[in-house]
Amino acid sequence: MGKTDDKGQTIMHVITEDVDYRIGLYEQDGSLIKLLDPIRFACLATPCSYSTLVQDVDTSYTETIDLETDLTFTTDTFTLIYNDPSQNTNNMSLEVYKLIGTGNILLCTDSSSGYTGVLTCNVSGNTGNLRALGYRTASPTIPIVQLLRTVMNSSFTGTTGLFISFLIFLMMAMIGALFGAIPAIVAGIIGLIPAFVLGSMSLGIVIGLGIMGGIVIHIMKRGQQ
């Protein structure tokens, strides 16, 4: 067995015309990265050398070690169920982040030792875009499963939230109308922001309505020229 250097190179000594060698590339923790086809080494002269290149691969632990995972989100809780039939996994971790404009905020984490288990993260009280990541102990640490969910404020996602959002939108639009049609549209778009904060509208809908408002303003300006 040879250990690669910082350039991924190593030297192994084998016996020529002996057996079919099958070269495997492993992580330091024993996780298999790549397994080459069997080959029997032969030489026309002595000594001789072979140069074998293992191409870079997109490591997928779910395919390499047959790790079975199921990551779900129900009732404010992310749940990761995992099972490793090979029993080589000795630790799993679950992390849930809130995605914001300037970075990610870690909301909770859970871990379990053993080749099978259930991990949970409760995110009640948090809204917005949430991402759950499942990790297997390895080097380097690579997410093997992830789940992205947009969580809205349940207190305002129904008729009450839409009614409050409409009143805010109407009030802002009427205030803008005092200064003209274009200020009314701008004020109306600003009035949609509380709807997103309250959770009665998704960010995609708010952005879409904002783009439509911008198009209307552009057409109105061109008509005035």
Stretch (H or E) spanning 95 = strand 91-100
Query: What count of residues does the chain have?
Result: 225
pLDDT beyond 80 at 212: yes
Q: What per-residue confidence (pLDDT) applies to 198?
A: 63
- Which tokens hold the place of 219? 């057409």
pLDDT (tens digit, 9 = 90+) per residue, 141-156? Answer: 566 677 776 665 544 4
pLDDT of residue 219: 80
- pLDDT tens, position by position, 50-107: 666 555 545 554 445 677 889 999 888 999 999 888 777 778 899 999 887 666 888 9
Whether residue 82 sits in one domain with residue 36: no
If DSSP codes are grouped into helix, strand and coil, which group holds residue 25? strand
Q: Do 72 and 91 reside in the same domain of the chain?
A: yes
67, 49: one domain: no
Count CB neighbours of 12 within 10 A.
Answer: 10
Can you give the pLDDT at residue 161? 64
> Is residue 215 within 8 Å of 202, Cβ to Cβ?
no
Give the mean pLDDT of 126-133. 84
Element (H, E) at 130: strand 128-136
Indicate whether 206 and 174 sit together in one domain. Answer: yes
- HSE of 203, CA atoms in CB hemisphere, 13 A: 10
One domain, residues 131 and 143: yes
Contact 198, 156 (CB under 8 A): yes
Same domain flag for 141 and 77? yes
Query: Domain of 25?
Result: 1-57
Residue 78: per-residue pLDDT: 93
* pLDDT for residue 109: 92
In a shared domain, residues 220 and 191: yes
Same domain, 89 and 143: yes
- pLDDT attached to residue 81: 92
Per-residue model confidence as pLDDT tens digits over 154-207: 444 556 666 777 788 788 888 888 888 888 888 888 887 777 666 666 667 778
**Residue 220 and residue 183 in one domain:** yes
Taking each helix axis from N to C end, the angle separating 181-191 and 159-177, rounded to the nearest 10 degrees, works out to: 150
Which of 41, 57, 73 is the last residue before a domain boundary? 57
> Using alpha carbons only, what angle is made at residue 155 by residues 153 and 160, rounded to the nearest 5 degrees?
120
- Cα distances (angstroms) measured from residue 65 to each of 89, 136, 144, 198: 9, 11, 11, 44
Q: What is the residue type of 67?
A: L
φ/ψ of 166, rounded to 5, equals -65, -40
